[in-house]
């Protein structure tokens, strides 16, 4: 079907702007996110998202009630090289800067500024309304599914709740089958980097200030037997427990 030149230009412009917005938000966006970001109607966005999908320029993932769209044109560094490079850095840092765990937690906090972890406005808004206990479970069981590169740092997580004083809660995250511990714990600074990153990510994305600490690290010759444990305490819970 042929369209007049002016209409063809408009169609191309719709596709270009929508695709550009999706590329700029490579952690996935909803139809509503795109409509707000481009100022197009939801009907227009839905139409051209379908067209872009047919053209294989974007793809989608359904996460619970959300359908998130991603650019299919992203070029990423092969995971095998990313892992080897990161492990080499972790091992070198452990050898050259022993007993510097807290410094690497600070590095993790700073990492947020250089890693695109945005959940998208609709998902972030939904998470902010959850109760703390449900929020933790949803966040860590769902987050890895719609962030395509998160599985690089994301082993299987067991989530449990530990009681503190005054009936306050501490959430325990046990990271099983971790890629980043090593037989002798040579990659263990990863746990501290992740703890610092999680603190900043929660503050920026979920709007809640937390304290994330490394409780323990358990290296093993077998990856499936290695794990590390982090704890999360909301600021208000920590303050009450200490009084």
Average pLDDT over residues 116-141: 54
pLDDT at site 237 = 55
Instruction: Specify whether 97 is located in the same domain as 172.
Output: yes
Instruction: Specify whether 42 is located in the same domain as 149.
Output: no
Of 71, 88, 106, the one marking the end of a domain is 71
Distances (CA, A) of 30 to 121, 124, 151: 9, 12, 21
pLDDT at site 48 = 93
- Does residue 209 surpass a pLDDT of 70? yes
Structure confidence by residue, pLDDT tens digits, 179-205: 788 888 899 999 999 899 888 877 877
Domain count, the chain: 2
Of 33, 53, 71, the one marking the end of a domain is 71
| Other Cβ atoms closer than 10 A to 98 | 8
Query: What is the domain range of residue 58?
Result: 5-71
Instruction: Specify whether 14 is located in the same domain as 130.
Output: no
Average pLDDT over residues 127-135: 52
Structure confidence by residue, pLDDT tens digits, 16-41: 899 989 988 877 889 999 999 999 99
Instruction: Specify whether 134 is located in the same domain as 179.
Output: yes
Of 71, 89, 108, the one marking the end of a domain is 71
Percentage of the chain lying above the pLDDT 90 cut? 28
- Domain harbouring 106, CATH code: 3.30.1380.20
Structure confidence by residue, pLDDT tens digits, 35-58: 999 999 999 999 999 999 998 889
Using only C-alpha atoms, what is the Rg of the chain?
A: 21
Q: How far apart are CA 234 and CA 230, in angstroms?
A: 13
Instruction: Specify whether 57 is located in the same domain as 140.
Output: no
- Does residue 116 surpass a pLDDT of 60? no
Instruction: Specify whether 226 is located in the same domain as 137.
Output: yes
Instruction: Specify whether 105 is located in the same domain as 53.
Output: no
- Does residue 140 surpass a pLDDT of 90? no
User: Could you identify the residue written with the tokens 């995971």?
Assistant: 79
């Amino acid at each position: 079907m042929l369209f007049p030149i002016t209409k063809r230009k408009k169609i191309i412009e719709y596709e270009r702007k929508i695709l550009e917005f999706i590329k700029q938000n490579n952690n996935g966006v909803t139809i509503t996110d795109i409509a707000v970001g481009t100022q197009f109607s939801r009907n227009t966005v839905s139409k051209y998202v379908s067209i872009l999908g047919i053209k294989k320029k974007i793809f989608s993932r359904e996460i619970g009630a959300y359908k998130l769209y991603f650019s299919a044109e992203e070029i990423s560094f092969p995971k095998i090289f990313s892992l080897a490079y990161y492990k080499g850095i972790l091992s070198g840092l452990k050898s050259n800067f022993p007993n510097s765990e807290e410094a690497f937690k600070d590095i993790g906090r700073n990492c947020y500024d250089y890693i695109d972890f945005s959940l998208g406005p609709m998902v972030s808004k939904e998470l902010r309304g959850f109760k703390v206990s449900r929020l933790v479970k949803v966040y860590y069981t769902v987050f890895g599914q719609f962030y395509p590169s998160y599985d690089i740092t994301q082993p299987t997580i067991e989530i449990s709740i530990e009681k503190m004083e005054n009936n306050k809660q501490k959430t325990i995250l046990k990271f099983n089958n971790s890629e980043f511990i090593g037989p002798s714990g040579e990659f263990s600074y990863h746990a501290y980097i992740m703890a610092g990153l999680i603190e900043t990510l929660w503050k920026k994305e979920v709007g809640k200030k937390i304290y994330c600490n490394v409780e323990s690290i358990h290296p093993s010759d077998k990856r499936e037997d290695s794990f590390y444990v982090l704890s999360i305490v909301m600021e208000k819970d920590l303050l009450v427990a200490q009084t």
